[in-house]
Structure 1
Amino acid sequence: MTQTSPAITLEKLRRAIRLIDEPLIELTPQSLTYLRSYPALLAASRTLASTHDSGDLLLQLSAMCYGWMPRVARVNARHVDKASAALACALESDVLIDTAQMQDLANSLHSVVGTSKLLHFLRPQLYPIWDSKVALFWAMPFKKSLQAHMSNVGNYHRYIKDIEALIASPDFSAFYNDFDQAYSRRLDRLKIAPYSLSPVRAVEAAAFELSGGDYDDD
């Protein structure tokens, strides 16, 4: 029997706004770096996408995104052609690439998580980032290990569809505005120039906060 994830409500995601507005929470240096560098990486991705062919784009985005994770990029040369074609489709289309194309990217990068980050920086309006904290928050039932669960492109695709459903709901606009404003307030408190998030990124960022975020223990 196919397992599906339970609905994640906007009411539940709204709890993240209170966390983001909490002035006493200290973020780790890694999280601060993420926040500061995020808009720069989006801009760099746009520039790379407009000036390089798909083969170079795969390699350059991989190096950039894995530095942001941070991890060491491992691009499998045997899958580069198919992965580059999938990346080109993602860049040119306003709809999601299919799971087979996502798998081509994952085969090249040895990672669905890495694939999600490449796709997000290329098309932040369509593709959310997929990581262990978000996967656990989404509470998708799985019998195997978390790593096996996260390595399944079908789970990532279902996660995207869940976010699409949330964004299409009539109350999403109010949540998005409130969350985006709270996020800007946090950035301002941290002396980081405020920037707006895409609706997809806002949902994912709220899920990350509710899963524990990235805070100092001190």
Structure 2
Amino acid sequence: MTQTPPGITLEKLRRAIRLIDEPLIELTPQSLTYLHSYPALLAASRTLASSHNSGDLLLQLSAMCYGWMPRVARVNARHVDKASAALACALESDVLIDTAQMQDLANSLHSVVGTSKLLHFLRPQLYPIWDSKVARVWATSDATTNMSKVENYRSYIEDIRTLIASADFAAFHEDFNQAYGRRLDRLKIAPYSLSPVRAVEAAAFELSGGDYDDD
């Protein structure tokens, strides 16, 4: 198992709890939409996956997840078959798909970030979301300047798995979920819990500066 980067510790991630509990922070409309829609997208992904037509699942999840992003989905038809097969493996397996399969998905979507979102909504217990804000907090300069490298995303997953396996993680996860619930309650959003990988990724996003209004 890979070693967690020196700058990424549970103590550092705990600082995000204080940020989430800050009542004066104003979230952008985009961030509020993310918070409102996240559990609905998880539920929709489960419904789509239950039909398990892998070709349709790739297109449906792509359209849905890219509606959650400030980008437009661009599915490369030449890579759909391999990407659909990779998505089917991700759905059926309790272990990570291999790097080549992740690359098949990234080739289809023209994006490793988009790939991470598809995989997350399909298997939120296994795959975190990867974006530039998280990478800035998390990783080396190579990761921040090469968001298109599947290897960087996979290293990030392994680092999160190392954190989750640590003795103090359960306490962090509980405290973070409680703080997250308090934020949702303040915003009049029905509280929901985050998976361990989502909690770590969400904490890193907060530490990166989050998505706040400057007004």
Q: Same fold (TM over 0.5)?
A: yes
Q: In 2, distance between residues paired with 1:6 and 1:88? A: 35
1:214 aligned residue: 211
Q: In 2, distance between residues paired with 1:52 and 1:102? A: 19
Structure 1 residue 7: deviation in Å? 5.2
Aligned residues: 212
SS of the equivalent of 1:68 reads coil
Q: Is structure 2 residue 199 aligned with structure 1 residue 199?
A: no
**Amino acid across the alignment from 1:189:** R
- Per-residue CA distance 1:2-49 (angstroms, 9 max, x = gap): xx9445100000000000000000000000000000000000000000
TM-score by length of 2: 0.96
Q: In 2, distance between residues paired with 1:82 and 1:140? A: 30
2:28 aligned residue: 28
Structure 1 residue 140: deviation in Å? 1.6
Q: In 1, distance between residues paired with 2:166 and 2:7? A: 12
Q: In 1, distance between residues paired with 2:159 and 2:36? A: 28
2:171 aligned residue: 174
Question: What stretches of structure 1 move > 4 A for 4+ residues in a row?
Answer: none
**Sequence identity percentage:** 87
- Per-residue CA distance 1:93-136 (angstroms, 9 max, x = gap): 00000110000000000000000000000000000000000011
Q: In 1, distance between residues paired with 2:70 and 2:42? A: 16
Q: In 1, distance between residues paired with 2:174 and 2:28? A: 26
Structure 1 residue 139: deviation in Å? 2.8
1:154 aligned residue: 151
1:130 aligned residue: 130
SS of the equivalent of 1:150 reads coil
- Per-residue CA distance 1:170-212 (angstroms, 9 max, x = gap): 0000000000000000000000000000000000000000000
Root-mean-square deviation over aligned CA pairs: 1.2
**Amino acid across the alignment from 1:160:** I
Q: In 2, distance between residues paired with 1:25 and 1:68? A: 22
Answer yes or no: is the 8 Å Cα contact 1:6–1:140 preserved in 2: no
**Amino acid across the alignment from 2:174:** N
**Amino acid across the alignment from 2:19:** L
Q: Is structure 2 residue 118 aligned with structure 1 residue 118?
A: yes
Answer yes or no: is the 8 Å Cα contact 1:134–1:207 preserved in 2: yes
Q: Is structure 2 residue 46 aligned with structure 1 residue 46?
A: yes
Q: Is structure 2 residue 106 aligned with structure 1 residue 109?
A: no
**Any stretches of 5+ residues in structure 1 without a counterpart?**
none
**Any stretches of 5+ residues in structure 2 without a counterpart?**
none
Q: In 1, distance between residues paired with 2:5 and 2:16? A: 20
2:69 aligned residue: 69
SS of the equivalent of 1:75 reads coil
Q: In 2, distance between residues paired with 1:49 and 1:63? A: 14
